[in-house]
Structure 1
Amino acid sequence: MNTPIDISEEAGVRYLHFGSDWVQGAMRIRKPDALELAYTREMMAGLLLRDGLAEDTGRWPKKVLIIGLGAASLAKFVYRHCPQARIRVVEIAPTVVAAARQFFKLPAEDARFSIHVGCGAQYVLEKDETWDYILVDGFDRNARAGALDTLPFYQAVRSRLSGQGLMAVNLFGRSRGYKASVERLLKAFDDRVVAFPSCDSGNVVAFAADGEAIERPLAELRERAHLLKTTTGLDLGPTITRLEQSGSVPGGSLRL
């Protein structure tokens, strides 16, 4: 797949574009491992939902699959802050991988970090491997997700999740809104789906779970968010406030 690549910079932030004005990724040059875009921060909210914060041998996640590399924001964050995790990135366009290496400080491949160039949907359908955290953020130059926003793909993702498995997906720009995407997720995951309220950029991040049920009271989410900010610099406090204000946590607990 030959994806056109454009790089722009403004106010200390470097942006990735696929031959259009759509921002496909961003990096603050002085903080290359930080999550610059709001939706990328929210895609890491799984660290609040599963027991991934304690400094012990049971830390979650142990295996992470990232579909769609972009500016490598998610890959760099997980690589730095989840040292227990083995990470596989699947990216369809070799030009995106090359741009991430040249402009966005993509880590070198090693024993715990690898890149597969190919179709993310095909990879999930064909590779019989389970993952704790599957992060899906794949779009073309017209902000279309294609096979990554279909019922068979979501069903395949569910079949690849471990007993502690979570999927996070960026639904921005999909089919005149995100409700049809959420309906597909609900069907694939038997209603175990939470769609976060849209952030300022218009992105909607949805989480879907399999295996062990999740129930986190708002007070516990705030405590965990404070710990996450202390240990990684990632601030999900505003996300929790938006969840509460939007009515997304009925009864004061997030259930998934």
Structure 2
Amino acid sequence: MAHSIDVSEEAGIRYLHFGSKWVQGAMRVRRPYALQLQYTQYMIAVLLLREPPWPRKVLLIGLGAASLTKFFHRYLPQSRLTVAEIDPRVVAVARMHFKLPEEDARLRVVIADGAEIVTRDSQHWDAILVDGFDAHARAGMLDKAPFYAAARAALNDKGLMVSNLFGHRKGFSEGFGRIRAAFDDRAIALPQCETGNVIAIANAGEAIALRFEELHLRAEALRRDTGLDLRGLVKRMVLQAAEGDGLLRL
């Protein structure tokens, strides 16, 4: 039997659930384009790693409450977005309750298995963001070695993959290990979110070697342009890499 899709609201925040206690998305009603959940904010940290006009072609796997879709659509006019969502009911709920934009020249929403798109589509992407879970917070094929290998092959020469791994579950370290194996160890795990989620970023293209001072400057520019403040995350990344040479390498 298919799980239910439930919408709740408390203290001005609207939540999406897939028939369980797990929060699948959230939106502050008065600020619908802001990223409410910390893990979605951390996924946007990928924008600090390459300079605009990157990314031009973006694949988002898993729609949820459309948080990432809305952010890209509103603040990155250079990006062309394809959103893969396996459940058409989620798309309908996102339009009705979470202000999912109408499709246009920059946004395409397809009812499809994201893993199949990555495996079968001949396109090459600048960025693939993976945030797909079922009602029991399981990622299924989106956290398997064949998917990560296919994602690497589907990225172009500046391509980066971002994956939401659920850190409180046994599979976090195993999932990150599969990502590292697929990308020849060119992957980092960001500091763990308050909810236990861990965001992994993997590089299939040109090498990245950024001083943390530059990351701070880029985070400040992102804050000015979008209101999203990732300066605290950058500070945590500096502490996490304290034994290094002052460079983020990927």
Q: Is the shorter-chain TM-score for this pair beyond 0.5, marking a shared fold?
A: yes
Shift of 1:247: 2.7
Query: How high is the TM-score relative to the length of structure 2?
Result: 0.97
Check whether the contact 1:41–1:236 (CA below 8 A) recurs between aligned residues: yes
**Per-residue CA shift, 1:11-45, capped at 9, x if unaligned?**
11100000011000000111111111111011011
Q: Which residue of 2 aligns with 1:55?
A: none
CA distance in 2: counterparts of 1:119 and 1:193, whole angstroms? 24
Query: Structure 1 residues 237 and 12, CA, compared in 2 at 3 Å: closer, same or farther?
Result: same
Query: How high is the TM-score relative to the length of structure 1?
Result: 0.95
- One-letter amino acid of the counterpart of residue 18, structure 2: F
CA distance in 2: counterparts of 1:67 and 1:194, whole angstroms? 20
Is 1:45 paired with 2:45?
A: yes
Shift of 1:122: 1.1
- One-letter amino acid of the counterpart of residue 112, structure 1: R
CA distance in 1: counterparts of 2:219 and 2:132, whole angstroms? 27
Structure 2 residue runs without a partner (length 5+): none
CA distance in 1: counterparts of 2:165 and 2:243, whole angstroms? 20
- One-letter amino acid of the counterpart of residue 45, structure 1: A
**Per-residue CA shift, 1:94-149, capped at 9, x if unaligned?**
11111100100000011110111011111111111111010000000000000000
- One-letter amino acid of the counterpart of residue 123, structure 1: I
Query: Structure 1 residues 2 and 94, CA, compared in 2 at 3 Å: closer, same or farther?
Result: farther
Q: 2:224 aligns with which of 227, 230, 236?
A: 230
Q: Which residue of 2 aligns with 1:152?
A: 146
CA distance in 2: counterparts of 1:248 and 1:116, whole angstroms? 42
Check whether the contact 1:2–1:93 (CA below 8 A) recurs between aligned residues: no
> After superposition, where does 1:92-171 map in structure 2 within 5 Å?
92-171=86-165
Q: How many residues align?
A: 250
Q: Which residue of 2 aligns with 1:77?
A: 71
CA distance in 1: counterparts of 2:46 and 2:3, whole angstroms? 30
Check whether the contact 1:6–1:19 (CA below 8 A) recurs between aligned residues: yes
Query: Structure 1 residues 217 and 159, CA, compared in 2 at 3 Å: closer, same or farther?
Result: same
Q: Which residue of 1 aligns with 2:23?
A: 23
Structure 1 residue runs without a partner (length 5+): 53-58
Residue 210 of structure 2 aligns to a residue whose secondary structure is: strand
Residue 178 of structure 1 aligns to a residue whose secondary structure is: helix
Is 1:66 paired with 2:63?
A: no
Check whether the contact 1:228–1:234 (CA below 8 A) recurs between aligned residues: yes
Is 1:202 paired with 2:196?
A: yes
Runs of 4+ in 1 over 3 A off after TM superposition: none
CA distance in 1: counterparts of 2:184 and 2:164, whole angstroms? 19
